Chain A
């Protein structure tokens, strides 16, 4: 995809920020001084790499930086789930759902099913158990959409 050019996009990213974000969506060197390696590739110094990363996290341009786990490979499970939340209750239900550590991501979407979140649990049984606890907390039915097959995953978005 082509580069972002939208005006009024906040916060503004400079070319080095974009290069850093793009580079760090690939492979982070698994060495003792990885930021020094990144710094050489970007042509800036290590302190700048670290400071920029911290700023991008503080600004929430990056939501996290570190290993991304496939919990299924150690016996855990991920599952997409959705709730149809009455508009008047949206804030309350958001707080209730987000309070569960098992909720890894949560998005509001424009649909009758207007809250979509991902559960991550240490055992496959944990998914249904967590869904029941969320139903108890919110008073609303939770629809589970387990992944039956994955066709493709490419998480890179060019900044």
Chain B
């Protein structure tokens, strides 16, 4: 987790409740912060001031709570989510692998660390239709490039874990049908706010 420690002139130690009096973990407040920001941050010079007003907190306390949420991993990161098609990654391949159960974690660690792979998860099989238990996302500029990367990964698996992998497929995305991120609390709208 990348936390922007160096940037904050207000809060020296976000874990120290004395930094901002009265700040302790509060699930209800965190939930309000999520609801206020899940559609995106307002694009104004002082976005957190606007969020703080919406949540009903002093801005210093809001920043402290957001920092704590980052450090606990409730917020993975703050920033931009690119449409990977629009920035040139037109081939988005979900590679799926049928790996023997005794090897799946070793193979997962191995391919998850490769540069070509952006996410890697173990998931349950759905037999008989779906024998695959390891999912690895590979992004590239063409289907051929992604297929080549996946073929290289397969070769490495065979070399390192002979017999562990029994089959694979790649599912290319052909359209983004929705990409809004999570929504809780029945909040309406998915349009980025602007002041």
Q: Which residues on A are within 8 Å of B, measured CB to CB?
A: 1, 3-6, 9-11, 13, 18, 20-21, 24-37, 46, 50, 53-54, 56-57, 59-71, 73-74, 76, 78, 80, 94, 97-98, 101-113, 115-117, 120, 122, 143, 145-155, 157, 159
Contact = CB atoms under 8 A, between A and B. Distances in A.
15 contacts: A31-B8, A46-B45, A54-B192, A54-B194, A62-B83, A65-B43, A67-B41, A68-B79, A69-B34, A80-B121, A97-B177, A101-B183, A113-B171, A120-B183, A145-B135
Nearest to B120: A151
Interface string B69-109: 11011111111111110111110101000000000010011
Q: Is the interface of A mostly helix, strand, loop or mixed?
A: mixed
B99 to A, nearest CB: 12
Interface residues of B, number: 89
A66 B38 contact: yes
A109 B173 contact: yes
Given A28-B78, A98-B177, A106-B177, A66 B37 contact: yes
Contacts of A59: 86
Contacts of A103: 178
B122 to A, nearest CB: 4
Contact of B4 (A10, A18, A25, A27): A27
**Interface SS majority for chain B:** mixed
9 closest A-B pairs by beta carbon, nearest first, are: A4-B88, A151-B112, A152-B112, A120-B182, A24-B80, A106-B177, A29-B7, A106-B178, A66-B40
